[in-house]
Every structure is written in C-alpha cells, then in structure tokens.
Amino acid sequence: MLEHGGRLRLAAAQWGIPLADWADLSTGINPQGWPVPPLPADCWRRLPEDHDGLEDAAAAYYGNAQLLPIAGSQAAIQCLPQLLPRAAVAMAAPLYAEHPHAWERAGHKVRRLPGASLSRVLAAMTPNVLLCNPNNPSARAFARDELLAAAAQLKKRGGTLVVDEAFADADPDNCVTPFAGTDAAPNLIVLRSLGKFFGLAGARVGFLFARRELRAQMAETLGPWTLSGPSRAVAQAALADRDWQAATRARLAADGERLRALLAPLGEVRANPLFCWLPTDHAQALHDFLAARGILVRLFADLPGLRFGLPGDESEWQRLAAALTEWSPQ
C-alpha cells in the first residue's frame, strides 16, 4: 500500500511527541472545513438511498448531472483502469501516486513524463492521458481551454482524457467538470472529491463525471451503498452552502499567499490555495527538523521536495514561522 500524508499517529510515536501537540500540515486538506451540524437520526437508521437530494445538489454545484457518487475519488482511481480497455496512458509527472499504481495494476502501460507540458503529453500519442489539475504535489495547473482542446484531440484518435480535480474547488472557473461525459466532451472523465476544499476527508465522498455507459459500469462494479447515509447527508448540505463556499475561497486565497510568502526565502515555491510545494535538496533534513518541533509536513524524498498544507489557526502559523526562522541547512 502506498504512503500518504496524514500519518500523524505514526509521527507521534516516531518522534515521541503527544498527538495533541502536533501541527499537521501534511495533507493539503482545508483545516477549517465545512462545519458539520447534527444529522437527522434517519440517516443512521436507514440504508442509504439514491436520489435523496445529493445528486441534485452535486449537479447544481458542479454544473453537470452526468455524475455518480462514490466513496471518495479513491474509489474511482482504483476502479476506473479496470473498466477501460488495456492500452498506454501518458501522465504528466510527478502526480498523485495512486493513479499510475492503479493503472499499472490493471495491466495498462504507464508513461510518466516528468515536468511535461500538455502538448508534450499529447505528443506521446498514447490513447489515454491522465492529469491532476491542479497537480498534487507540484501545484501546477493547466487552463480549462487547454484541457478541452486536449480532450477533442484525443477523441479524434479514439482516446480518453482523465482529469483529477481533487484540489480544483478553490478556482471553479478553471474546472472542466461541467463538460465531462456530455456531448461536448464524451471522452472526458473527471474525478471530484469533498475531502480537500470542504475539509470532509473522513466522510469519503467523491464523484465520477463521465458518459452514461461508464458510470453504469462503475456503479455495477462498486455495488450498492457505496456512500453511507451520514456521508450523503453531510455532502448534500455542504454542496448547497454557497455562502460558506464563497467565504472559504476568499480565505484560502489569502492563506495560500501567506504560506507562499512564508516559504519564499527557502526557494522557488509553487503555490495552490490549499498547499505549497517546495522543491529542495534538503527535503529530508528540513522535514526532520520540523518534525522534531511537532510540525508534520509531507516528504517526497524521491523528487525531492516538501508539501506544506495550511496551518489551522494563528498559533500554528506562528509555530511554523518560528521554526523556519531557526532553520539553517548544513
């Protein structure tokens, strides 16, 4: 099983620091997530039912009714390669490691193209292309028009474009979700999640946007009740809360810029409203330096670099600032 951020209990044991004393910046999840209210008792007592209002709320929020609710985008990441004919797939690297892992396990030939532009990825002439937009961990983003043009080009060669928009909610105008599986882009598949922007990673709610036939295949493969009743209730309410969404986009933009400025003295920072990517040859040393002070960031030793999520409150901002002031590479 691949390693992910958020392994706070492991870090607490390794560094001998109590769990409550950590600032966990390792995940890229909004630390001030949607405030979950008390839930109706029926969502705990009854089996989950489709078309309880969740699909309508999601269609209104994402601008596309060609959707399937799933247990987080991870469910689609693992299942999707099994449903598509085995072929070559090009991926702009680095990217979320579960994608190439799942495609290779399903028998596809994966071509990782480090630092590639979209034109270079398309020039690989693979039937399928997969991109994370914005990318995790590098924070690189492709423009909507670029992606729609890529989908059209792949359609001509009988191919598919898969776009993971897990971190896209902070900039909805650049999303291609409204076009996935529609007549405008029938070969476009988009994955979305409520884990990052909404800060509801524990609810395990996501959506697949794709043509009807593919959605039916995935629904059959995943089986009934992929989402729990409480998760459906929470997701429906969060997707409908437009005031919270607007306020959160403004706050994340400011916090993302604050984090970028804080890290800027350490090197060339690449920023997303939910996290910053710091390429550095001192990744392991800086990771350990921060961990010894109860600050957990995500280490990518093979790239090398560190991903910093947003501090959750002012005390965590001050802890991070103080630690970075002390840091000096040997």
- Whether residue 33 is contained in a domain is answered as no
pLDDT value of position 2: 62
What pLDDT band is residue 329 in, cutting at 50, 70 and 90?
A: confident
**Residue at a domain's end among 216, 240, 264:** 240
- Encode pLDDT of 48-93 as tens digits: 999 899 999 999 999 999 999 999 999 999 999 999 999 999 999 9
pTM: 0.95
Residues 227 and 248 in one domain: no
pLDDT value of position 14: 92
Domain that includes residue 124, residue range: 42-240
- Whether residue 69 is contained in a domain is answered as yes
Q: Which residues contact 65 (CB under 8 A, 6 or more apart)?
A: 55, 59
Q: Which carries the bigger pLDDT value, residue 324 or residue 330? A: 324
Residues 97 and 198 in one domain: yes
pLDDT value of position 230: 97
- Whether residue 35 is contained in a domain is answered as no
Helices (H), ranges, the chain: 8-15, 42-45, 54-62, 73-83, 98-105, 118-123, 144-156, 212-222, 229-240, 242-263, 283-291, 314-326
What percentage of the chain has pLDDT greater than the value 90?
Answer: 93
Mean pLDDT computed over 306-323: 97
Count of domains observed in the chain: 2
Tokens, residue 62: 């994402």
For the domain that residue 276 is a member of, what is the CATH number?
Answer: 3.90.1150.10
Residues 293 and 188 in one domain: no
- Encode pLDDT of 217-252 as tens digits: 999 999 999 999 999 999 999 999 999 999 999 999
**Residue at a domain's end among 240, 258, 286:** 240
Mean pLDDT computed over 96-109: 96
User: If you average pLDDT over every residue of the chain, what do you get?
Assistant: 95
DSSP state of 53: S
pLDDT value of position 4: 66
Residues 234 and 249 in one domain: no
Residues 234 and 89 in one domain: yes
Three-state DSSP class for 294?
coil
Residues 107 and 61 in one domain: yes
**Residue at a domain's end among 240, 270, 297:** 240
What pLDDT band is residue 116 in, cutting at 50, 70 and 90?
A: confident
What pLDDT band is residue 5 in, cutting at 50, 70 and 90?
A: low
Residues 149 and 261 in one domain: no
- Encode pLDDT of 172-192 as tens digits: 999 999 999 999 999 999 999
Q: Which carries the bigger pLDDT value, residue 14 or residue 5? A: 14
